[in-house]
Amino acid sequence: MDEVNKQGQSIGRKGAESRRRLMDATRELIAVEPAHKITASAIARAAKLASQTFYLYFKDIDEILLALSQEAGADMQDVHDALGSAWESAPPAEQAGRFIEAFTAYWDRHRAILTVRNYLADSAHPAFLTIRQDTAMPLINAIADRMMAAHPDHDLERKSAFARSVIIYSAIERMAARPATMRHNPSMLSLADIQQAEADILTLLFTPTRASIDEQSLLAAPRKQA
DNA sequence: TCTGCCAAGAGCAGATAGCG
DNA sequence: CGCTATCTGCTCTTGGCAGA
């Protein structure tokens, strides 16, 4: 194995196991406690290791959170697949629904670390900003590509498609980040309602020419008072 | 011999108590 | 209320031991 620990020792089976235990313990801790309250000692304790062992594999808390963020970022194949399948293989509504489903499932799998990642990115932590951008950009571009492909015969500029994609992606991610909060208030929209709305909006953006013309006229129409 | 871990301990920061 | 002393817990380094 090429990887080495902080003492320069190459990491063998047991070392990899300890590193894994530390990461798993961190994931469990951030699911139940605010990230800023978590200490290296607490992580090591939870992993049933001495606190010094933590520093054998990670420089500090940020480094282990970053490792978990990277790991989560690498688990997006389903989401990419949902957007990457052939256009003709299914109607836009089905493709949009598949993407929303995959994206929500991805957040369900990694909610704790993704929430921490976004919090640190919003706090202008460069490494977390980079990793959030690296995972979001391919999806934002893929959504923009689909919009462009659906509007071949009128002038949706790449820049506009990209901007719309940024907005819809941000909204979808924000909603995916807070299903627990929504569950606390039964009078609010259900998770299914939100997901359906997301899929509907994406469908509108992904639907080719005729509907897109309707969309343009809809967007151009004067707004009625609520 | 190498890997992996931990005990010991220094240094530091935040919390708390005591005092004027 | 503000200052100081003390306590407590955390970070991090060094050195050494056990096991494969």
Q: Which nucleotides of C are covered by protein (CB under 7 A)?
A: 9-14
pLDDT, averaged across chain A: 79
d(CA A40, CA A220): 55
Residue A42 CB in 7 A reach of strand C:
yes
From the CA of A48, how many Å to the C1' of B6? 12
pLDDT at A29: 80
CA–CA separation, A143 vs A52, rounded Å? 45
From the alpha carbon of A55, which nucleotide's C1' atom is closest? Answer: C12
Q: Is the CB of A13 under 7 A from strand B?
A: yes
A10 touches strand B (CB under 7 A): yes
Q: What is the pLDDT of residue A180?
A: 59
- Give the nucleotide at minimum CA-to-C1' distance from A43: C10
What is the C-alpha to C-alpha distance for residues A109 and A115, in angstroms, rounded to an integer?
12
Q: Given this structure, which CATH class describes domain A68-218?
A: mainly alpha
The model's pLDDT over A49-82, given as tens digits with 9 standing for 90+, comes to 777 777 777 877 778 888 889 889 999 999 998 8
Architecture of the domain defined by A13-59: Orthogonal Bundle (1.10)
Question: Does the fold of domain A68-218 match that of domain A13-59?
Answer: no
Task: Provide the pLDDT for residue A123.
Answer: 74
Closest CA to A68 of A121, A24, A127, A3: A24
pLDDT score at A8: 59
Q: How far is CA A177 from the centre of its chain?
A: 9
In this complex, the answer to whether residue A51 has its CB under 7 A from any atom of chain C, a nucleic strand, is yes
Is A48 or A24 the better-scoring residue by pLDDT? Answer: A24
In the predicted structure, residue A165 carries a pLDDT above the cut 80: yes
Give the integer Cα–Cα distance in Å for A119 and A113.
Answer: 10
Buried b (16+ CB within 10 A) or exposed e, A144-180: bbbbbebbeeeebeeeebbebbeebbeebbebbeebe
Q: Å from A37 (CA) to B15 (C1')?
A: 15
pLDDT digits 0-9 by tens, A143-155: 999 888 887 766 6
**What ranges do the domains of chain A cover?**
13-59, 68-218
Quick one: what percent of chain A has pLDDT higher than 90? 26
- Examine the pLDDT at A89 and tell me if it is beyond 80: no
Residues 39-68 of A with CB under 7 A from strand B: 49-50, 52-53, 56
| Pure H helices in chain A | 13-32, 40-46, 51-57, 61-73, 77-84, 92-122, 126-150, 158-177, 179-183, 191-206, 209-220
Predicted confidence band of residue A30 (pLDDT cuts 50, 70, 90):
confident
